[in-house]
Structures are given as C-alpha cells and as structure tokens.
Amino acid sequence: MDALTWFGLFAVTAMLVCYALEDRSPWFVLGFAAACALGSAYGFLQGAWPFGVVEAIWALVALRRWWLVVSGTSARLAAPCPGGELGNESPQSPHR
C-alpha cells in the first residue's frame, strides 16, 4: 500500500473510533470532526471529489455538534417540554 492509502485508512479508522466513543467525551466529537476533515482531504487527494465534498460537510456538521455540546446548548435543546414529551402527558403522569 502506498502512503495515500495508509493516510485514508488512518482517517477512516479514526472516524470510526471517534464516532463510537462520542458519548464519552466532547473531545471524541471534535476528533470525529477532525477525522472527517482528514477523510475529505484523502478524497480530494485520491481524485474522488464527491467523497471529499461529503466528508467536508460531515466535518462541519460534527464541528457544530461539538460546539453545541461544549457550550451547553445541546442539553437545553434536548430538554423535555414542560408538559411532557410533545406536551401529551396527563397531569397525573409519574414523570411530572
């Protein structure tokens, strides 16, 4: 295998590992974003520009997710509605 193939293998392996561990730390979300950027670079370097474009988009999405996690915004977005999920729970619900 040539150096470019090793680089691509590293990028995809890093993406897989970081994605699997994202729930453990925001640093894995950032690592996933960086690995996606590496995967994008690999795609462009080897001539598969559609792969490079998609991986660049994934890098931006992951970077935004990391920013939301470290700024605490994602916790507020995931908080349940005051009346329960979608506001459909009855007042007697044990979840209130």
- For 39-51, what is the mean pLDDT? 96
How far is Cα 20 from Cα 34, in angstroms, rounded to an integer? 15
As a whole number of angstroms, the distance between CA 74 and CA 62 comes to: 13
Helix/strand/coil percentages in the chain, nearest 5 = 75, 0, 25
Whether 15 and 36 have beta carbons less than 8 Å apart is answered as yes
One-character DSSP codes across 13-55: HHHHHHHHTGGG-HHHHHHHHHHHHHHHHHHHHTT-HHHHHHH
Q: For residue 89, is pLDDT > 80? A: no
Q: Between 85 and 66, where is the model more confident? A: 66
Q: What is the pLDDT of residues 3-36, one digit of tens each?
A: 999 999 999 999 999 999 999 999 999 999 999 9
Determine the average pLDDT of the residues in 71-81. 61
Q: What confidence tier does 75 reach under pLDDT thresholds 50, 70, 90? A: low
Can you give the residue ranges of every domain in the chain? Answer: 3-76
